[in-house]
């Protein structure tokens, strides 16, 4: 049973453009597991590490606003272009995009950056990776924040009993070989741009992501995340660490039922924050609200005394 510490509704204001502040961003190329990951980094090297994971079809650029807000108060922030999105980390085989591989990438990247333990934040597919990592490797994660994405088991239950199945119908299309590449990538990725703007993403962001996925093999690699996925919850354990879930009430892809039942799958301190009226693309269009919630969550966890190591909450079996 989750330790429910709160529920808050915030009315969201939308930011449509792509702006960046004054905090310097580094572009690193981190080697991990024989691959090379393009990574945005900012903040003092001695600061508490925060790892930010993007989703489909984003890049690490979606986190620029949030990363700068975290760096401004002393956190060390790392935001990789994940497997398939970094040209140097783009295996051809679909099986290379299974969840254990994606989780292992993040752990290896953190080690390469010298972060034995870190705060973890994920949006969309990045949120799915974050849930899996925090559930199976809680000793490595100081706090978890999932943005938009419910716990995989809550999502699986919603698919069986609620309107989530219709919201997730696009996944079946993405899993078909080759056809999505033809539909989304044709005519200069016009189909992908249409899909993204129809889902509420601003045109400038849609253009940026379409350009990023126009590279050789990039769109197929991004779709491989869907094709490699194991349905119905991926056997992700309950999460025993401090967890925050941020969800927009207007999200067209992820509905209320999964959002409100996610707490059942968190054994540590937990809170659901609802951005009233916000859609799916919270890092791009609601960075100020998201950064404020993150800073609060991280500060509370950082101020709390570190719990003694509990062998029963060490790495969970695969």
Q: Which residue has the tokens 């404020």?
A: 292
Asked if residue 24 lies in contact with residue 11, where contact means CB atoms within 8 angstroms, the answer is no
Residue 69 to residue 64: CA distance in whole angstroms: 9
Residue 103 to residue 98: CA distance in whole angstroms: 9
pLDDT for the residue numbered 311? 37
pLDDT for the residue numbered 314? 38
**Looking at the domain assignment, is residue 276 inside a domain?**
yes
pLDDT for the residue numbered 315? 40
The ranges of the chain with pLDDT < 70 are: 1-22, 231-234, 304-318
**Looking at the domain assignment, is residue 277 inside a domain?**
yes
Encoding tokens for residue 217?
């093999």
Q: Which residues of 77-114 are buried (b: 16+ CB within 10 A; e: fewer)?
A: bbbbbbbbbbbebbbeebebbbbeebbbbbbbbbebbe
**Looking at the domain assignment, is residue 314 inside a domain?**
no
DSSP assignments along 202-246, one per residue:
-HHHHHHHHHHTTSTTHHHHHHHHHHHPPSTTTTPPPB-S-EEEE
Q: Which residue has the tokens 């449509």?
A: 16
pLDDT for the residue numbered 307? 47
CA-closest candidate to residue 74, choices 109, 49, 51, 52:
49
**Looking at the domain assignment, is residue 13 inside a domain?**
yes
**Looking at the domain assignment, is residue 317 inside a domain?**
no
Domain count, the chain: 1
The domain spanning residue 30 has which CATH number?
3.40.50.1820
**Looking at the domain assignment, is residue 231 inside a domain?**
no
Indicate whether this model's pTM tops 0.85: yes
Asked if residue 218 lies in contact with residue 210, where contact means CB atoms within 8 angstroms, the answer is no
pLDDT for the residue numbered 235? 80
**Looking at the domain assignment, is residue 318 inside a domain?**
no
Encoding tokens for residue 139?
């000793």
**Looking at the domain assignment, is residue 219 inside a domain?**
no
Q: Which domain, by its residues, includes 104? A: 3-168+236-303
């Amino acid at each position: 049973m989750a330790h429910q510490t709160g529920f808050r509704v915030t009315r969201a204001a939308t930011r449509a453009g792509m702006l960046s502040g004054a905090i310097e961003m580094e572009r690193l190329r981190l080697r991990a597991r024989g691959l090379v990951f393009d990574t945005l980094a900012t903040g003092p090297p001695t600061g508490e590490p925060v790892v930010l994971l993007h989703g489909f079809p984003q890049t690490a650029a979606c986190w620029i606003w949030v990363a700068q807000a975290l760096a401004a108060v002393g956190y060390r922030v790392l935001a990789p272009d994940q497997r398939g999105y970094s040209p140097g980390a783009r295996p051809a085989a679909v099986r290379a995009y299974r969840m254990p591989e994606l989780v292992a990438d993040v752990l290896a990247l953190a080690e390469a950056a010298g972060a034995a333990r870190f705060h973890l934040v994920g949006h969309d597919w990045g949120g799915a990776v974050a849930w899996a990592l925090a559930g199976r490797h809680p000793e490595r994660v100081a706090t978890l924040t999932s943005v938009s994405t419910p716990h995989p088991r809550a999502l699986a239950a919603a698919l069986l009993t609620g309107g989530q199945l219709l919201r997730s119908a696009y996944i079946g299309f993405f899993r078909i070989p080759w056809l999505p590449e033809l539909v989304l990538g044709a005519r200069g990725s016009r189909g992908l741009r249409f899909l993204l703007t129809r889902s509420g993403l601003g045109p400038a962001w849609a253009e940026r992501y379409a350009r990023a996925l126009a590279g050789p093999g990039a769109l197929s690699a991004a779709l491989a995340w869907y094709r490699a996925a194991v349905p119905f919850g991926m056997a992700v354990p309950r999460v025993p660490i401090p967890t925050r879930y941020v969800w927009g009430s207007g999200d067209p892809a992820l509905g209320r039922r999964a959002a409100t039942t996610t707490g059942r799958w968190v054994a540590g301190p937990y809170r659901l924050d609802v951005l009233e009226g916000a859609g799916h693309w919270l890092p791009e269009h609601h960075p100020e609200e998201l950064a404020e919630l993150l800073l609060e969550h991280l500060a509370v966890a950082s101020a709390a005394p570190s719990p003694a190591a509990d062998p029963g909450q060490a790495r969970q079996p695969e």
